[in-house]
A and B are shown apart, each in its own frame.
Chain A
Amino acid sequence: MKRASLGEFEEVVLLTVAVLEVQGQAYGVAITHEIIEETGRSVRLNQIHAALQRLEDKGMVKSEMGEPTAERGGRRKRLFTVTAYGRRTLQEIQDVRASLWTRLVSPFKLSTSL
């Protein structure tokens, strides 16, 4: 696998961005809440911001400023979208895992071995 490595947490964030960008909701707070709900981790805002920034540096996401909203005190949000490179990276990771899963001799199942 010769590509810019993606940390596990970054991967989760990137996936979340991919999920939320459809509704135009891929920005700091929304991503944070989403991840908290999905993974049950206690994530802080700054970690998400840092991860998004790293992803942007790696070229996995790009961003632009959205519309100002009232609850943000009239501040704009930065909306993220996953780039093609980002999608491909996610796909590659997924493929690697899938192929490894298929090669598993006995997949883990909840069973009682007699």
Chain B
Amino acid sequence: MKSAPNPPRWADRLLNVICAPDRLEEVQGDLREEFAYQIDRIGERRARWRYVWDVLGFVKSPPVARRHGAYSTTYLMNPTMLRNYLKIAFRNLVKNKTFSGVNILGLALGMACSLLIMLWVQDELSIDAFHANKQQLYRIYMREYFSGKVQGVIWTPGPLADELKKSIPEIQLSTPYEWVSDQTFSVGSKVNKQATNAASADFFKMFSYKLLQGTPEAALKDRNSLAISRSMAESFFGSPEAAIGKTIRFDNRKDLLITAVFENIAKNSTLKFDCLRNWDEFVEDNAWAKGWESTDPLTFFMIRPDADPAKVEAKITHLLDKFNRDGNKPVHTELAMQPFHDYYLNSNFKNAQIDGGRIEYVRLFTIVAVFILLIACINFMNLATARSGKRAKEVGVRKVVGAMRSLLIGQFVGEALLLTVFAIFLAILFVALLLPSFNSLTDKQISLPINDLSFWGILAGLTLLTGLLAGSYPAFFLSALNPIRVLKGAMKVDTKSTWLRQGLVVFQFALSIILIVGMIIIYRQVEYVQTKNLGYDRENLVYFPLEGDLVKNYDVLKEQISQIPSIKHVSHMTASPASNGSGTEGISWTGSDPNGKVRFTPVGVGYDFVETMNLSVADGRDFSKAYPTDSTGFLINEAALKVIGYKNPIGKIINWGNGKGAIIGVLKDFHFQSLHTSIRPLIAYLSTDSRRQGGNVIVRIEAGKTKEALAQLEALCKKMNPKFPFTYSFTDQEYARQYQSEQVVSKLSNYFAFLAIFISCLGLFGLATFTAEQRTKEIGVRKVLGASVSSIVGLLSQDFLKLVAIAILVASPIAWWAMNQWLQGFAYKIDIEWWMFVVAGILSAAIALLTVSFQSIKAALMNPVKSLRAE
């Protein structure tokens, strides 16, 4: 049994707010009575609508009568007064379309920018944060001391993970983690390349990758086990359920057993792979991974929940001293650890200590977002204070009638908040429109978290912050006006406020100029990186994996490829041309420091390597079939020669592990890694029949003949290696990929700089409008006395140009310092030149002039008769 139906409660609440308290009872009573009457007449549902409709009628014209002695007890939130405030605010908004437009658009752009950055930062911080054990997960990095220097290295020896678990009780689980490479898998006639990696049996116990089939304990337990992703399972077997327990052929050499299927790896994980092989099985194919000299995989471990990380770190520091012995020479390598979820954002080394990384971009963008928002707020402040004369009378009257200062402050802050509320809705619209392109630019999958309450909380917070920031100064300024002076009509422009306004404009433009300089320098650096002579020719250089039957038939393959007319040279190497991160410390020579090991980057190469890569030989020669002894010889680069220090290196002997060989050639330095690092010592050995491992076949194609060359290569590989799909890479693209984050920063910096200057100019436009308005009479008089239009435009513009000039002076040193910091991250970088500042200055001055002149020309062209008529 339902009691009497009630009208919608929210409508009643609304009524409470708008209705004068001493009138509430009768009005609500009437509404209720009407409601009861309407229920009988048209039914409850429609009566409810009707009720709301009636209430809304009262919103339009609430009863506000006051009887004598029946004053409202609400004081600050007095509905009548609130209505008056709102009315005044709206009238002002509608009356000054330019100013409202400038403010709302500026604030909306600023807030949209902040929102985007906020979403981006949130996404960056969420990376790798989903692992349940993240508080216990660490990764190892090494500090290598050699010839008085120290460097940080993330590559670790293969056996290290096991050793950690064995010798340190606090370490529960550990795994090496190799580098992802594309490997060929087949089931029956289905062949596919998959991003493959290797890890130990502990892997799935440490990391929270969701297993659809199999258990974390059993996932990589056996030597022949393989964990695959959902998509890989679906492509080979149709479903995860069908895949579990089946065998799959790997590299056309081994059969592996599928022991687990994990959910496709999400974007917020730094470790990405389609499948994981068991580490021991990986070592079978890669014997070097057994030894302590070679360093290649990353090492992750998990400590017990109760263990103290500092103590663990102390224990592992000198762990390597007992290994790596090579003729009883202790190697100065220390181990250190870093929280696993930390390493995505902090991956750079400075003096072998973790020092920043992507986190710097996160900070940088946050600062930029705040700056842009600040610029928008300054617009509001400037325009509000500049126009204070217009509102002065209102303030005067309010004060005389008895408004307290706090009320006035409340009123003006409220107005700013109202404007900000408009702006935030516009900003949300902007963000919604911009997100798709922003996502494709930053390679993320961010969406507007509409359903997330905290997001709305953030929005409210942002609105409040912006409103207060923008509104507080004008509110104080306006509420401080002296009513007597104001109402007398003597509203002198306060010099103090003019100073402040100019200061704020300088600040705005300084920020914009810093961003423009940043944009120029980042752009130049990115361009430099992409066009730098790397010491080898990366154009028209294609490489494809040397795998399957190609390995043993390499000589035939080389012969066949040489026949193709559009291909100039062909060779092979164990790494890829654009990036080679492996290292070895097993190198010694006469006079080498027994206590300091040097990390060399080893690479196995085929004949014609130098010619194919288009390297220059500084001394000696390339490997050649004419000299059978070359099979034990080495090529080194100039950096290696510097370390070794031989005067006449050719023919001198180098020891590598247990073998030795003569230096047959010295290569001019070339960049086999990204330009963030300086060129390391390189040692190349001849990788022929007995020693040939996989790697890549590198092919130099004649310019413009890429298509046909690739077609013929594919046909050839299909014929010689039918079990493997043909995949290839362009060196120049792979090289460019290393600078993806710089590319993104470059593009983003363009947008930021544009936004900053745009919002600044919006404000300038508003101010110019205002000055032109203020000085109409002066301009009129000047024109009557014979001033030319151009002189008047100059007169109005020069004030602003002065400000921009000061801004340039202020901004230049700051910009220089900031960009210098950024460039430190590159071992090879451009110089910051003075013309960049000039360009930024001229650019901003020109834009400012354009903005101002639009208004000043309009003012100068006015008919003086009109402007002086009233005098």
**Known A76-B25, A76-B26: A53·B65 in contact at CB below 8 Å:** yes
A65 touches B26 (CB 8 A): yes
**Of B52-60, B354-362, B774-782, which binds chain A?**
B52-60
Q: Does A19 contact B (CB under 8 A)?
A: no
B61 touches A77 (CB 8 A): no
Chain B residue, CB-CB nearest to A48? B30
A71 → chain B closest CB, angstroms: 5
A24-60 vs B, CB cutoff 8 Å, 1 = contact: the mask equals 0001110011000000000011110110010011000
Task: Give every chain A residue within 8 A of B252 (Cβ-Cβ).
Answer: none
B29 touches A76 (CB 8 A): yes
Task: Give every chain A residue within 8 A of B61 (Cβ-Cβ).
Answer: 46-47, 50
- For the A-B complex, the count of residue pairs with Cβ-Cβ distances under 8 Å equals 68
B26 touches A77 (CB 8 A): yes
B30, B34, B65: residue with the most chain A Cβ atoms closer than 10 Å: B30
**Bound-state Cα–Cα, A29 to B63, Å:** 15
Task: Give every chain B residue within 8 A of A71 (Cβ-Cβ).
Answer: 32-33, 36
B65 touches A46 (CB 8 A): no
Interface residues on B, range: 20 to 34
Q: Does B31 contact A (CB under 8 A)?
A: yes
Task: Give every chain B residue within 8 A of A97 (Cβ-Cβ).
Answer: none
Q: Does A107 contact B (CB under 8 A)?
A: no
Task: Give every chain A residue within 8 A of B58 (Cβ-Cβ).
Answer: 45-46, 49
A77 → chain B closest CB, angstroms: 6
Q: Does B580 contact A (CB under 8 A)?
A: no
Q: Does B71 contact A (CB under 8 A)?
A: no
Q: Does A75 contact B (CB under 8 A)?
A: yes
Restricting to B46-89, which residues have a CB under 8 Å from any CB of A? 53-54, 57-58, 60-65
**Bound-state Cα–Cα, A56 to B569, Å:** 104
**Bound-state Cα–Cα, A103 to B26, Å:** 45
Task: Give every chain A residue within 8 A of B54 (Cβ-Cβ).
Answer: 44-46
A53 touches B29 (CB 8 A): no
**Known A29-B34, A29-B37, A46-B57: A75·B26 in contact at CB below 8 Å:** yes
**Bound-state Cα–Cα, A45 to B53, Å:** 10
B65 touches A45 (CB 8 A): no
**Known A27-B26, A28-B27, A65-B26: A72·B33 in contact at CB below 8 Å:** yes
**Bound-state Cα–Cα, A32 to B54, Å:** 12
**Bound-state Cα–Cα, A72 to B33, Å:** 5
A74 → chain B closest CB, angstroms: 9
A20 → chain B closest CB, angstroms: 14
Q: Does B688 contact A (CB under 8 A)?
A: no
A28 touches B36 (CB 8 A): no
Q: Does A78 contact B (CB under 8 A)?
A: yes
Task: Give every chain A residue within 8 A of B27 (Cβ-Cβ).
Answer: 28, 45, 49
Task: Give every chain B residue within 8 A of A49 (Cβ-Cβ).
Answer: 27, 30, 58, 63
Interface residues on A, range: 20 to 34
Q: Does A7 contact B (CB under 8 A)?
A: no
B157 → chain A closest CB, angstroms: 82
Task: Give every chain B residue within 8 A of A32 (Cβ-Cβ).
Answer: 34
A64 → chain B closest CB, angstroms: 11
Pick the residue among B25, B33, B53, B65 that contacts A29 (CB under 8 A): B33
B25, B33, B53: residue with the most chain A Cβ atoms closer than 10 Å: B33
Restricting to B395-409, which residues have a CB under 8 Å from any CB of A? none
B14-37 vs A, CB cutoff 8 Å, 1 = contact: the mask equals 000000000001111111111011
B108 → chain A closest CB, angstroms: 35
Pick the residue among A46, A57, A72 that contacts B60 (CB under 8 A): A46
Chain B residue, CB-CB nearest to A75? B29
B566 → chain A closest CB, angstroms: 85
A27, A45, A57: residue with the most chain B Cβ atoms closer than 10 Å: A45
B63 touches A75 (CB 8 A): no
B350-389 vs A, CB cutoff 8 Å, 1 = contact: the mask equals 0000000000000000000000000000000000000000
Pick the residue among B26, B32, B60 that contacts A78 (CB under 8 A): B26
Pick the residue among B32, B53, B57, B63 that contacts A72 (CB under 8 A): B32
B477 → chain A closest CB, angstroms: 39
Restricting to A65-84, which residues have a CB under 8 Å from any CB of B? 65, 69, 71-73, 75-78
B52 → chain A closest CB, angstroms: 12
**Bound-state Cα–Cα, A65 to B67, Å:** 13
**Bound-state Cα–Cα, A76 to B61, Å:** 21
Task: Give every chain B residue within 8 A of A65 (Cβ-Cβ).
Answer: 25-26
Pick the residue among A46, A53, A69, A75 that contacts B25 (CB under 8 A): A75
B31 touches A45 (CB 8 A): yes
A68-111 vs B, CB cutoff 8 Å, 1 = contact: the mask equals 01011101111000000000000000000000000000000000
B30 touches A47 (CB 8 A): no
Chain A residue, CB-CB nearest to B62? A46
Task: Give every chain A residue within 8 A of B65 (Cβ-Cβ).
Answer: 53, 56-57
Pick the residue among A27, A33, A50, A73 that contacts B32 (CB under 8 A): A73
A27 → chain B closest CB, angstroms: 7
**Bound-state Cα–Cα, A36 to B368, Å:** 63
A75 touches B34 (CB 8 A): no
Chain B residue, CB-CB nearest to A56? B65
A72 → chain B closest CB, angstroms: 4
**Bound-state Cα–Cα, A76 to B29, Å:** 7
Task: Give every chain B residue within 8 A of A45 (Cβ-Cβ).
Answer: 27, 30-31, 34, 54, 57-58
Task: Give every chain A residue within 8 A of B63 (Cβ-Cβ).
Answer: 46, 49-50, 53
Task: Give every chain B residue within 8 A of A29 (Cβ-Cβ).
Answer: 30, 33-34, 37
B500 → chain A closest CB, angstroms: 47
B730 → chain A closest CB, angstroms: 74
**Bound-state Cα–Cα, A69 to B64, Å:** 24
Task: Give every chain B residue within 8 A of A27 (Cβ-Cβ).
Answer: 26, 30
Task: Give every chain B residue within 8 A of A73 (Cβ-Cβ).
Answer: 28-29, 32
**10 A-B interface contacts by CB (under 8 A):** A29-B33, A32-B34, A45-B34, A46-B57, A46-B58, A49-B30, A53-B64, A69-B29, A73-B28, A75-B26
Chain B interface (Cβ < 8 Å from any Cβ of A): 25-34, 36-37, 53-54, 57-58, 60-65
Known: A28-B30, A44-B57. 19 other contacts (CB 8 A): A27-B26, A29-B30, A29-B37, A45-B27, A45-B30, A45-B57, A46-B54, A46-B61, A47-B57, A47-B61, A53-B63, A56-B65, A72-B30, A73-B28, A75-B32, A76-B25, A76-B26, A77-B29, A77-B30
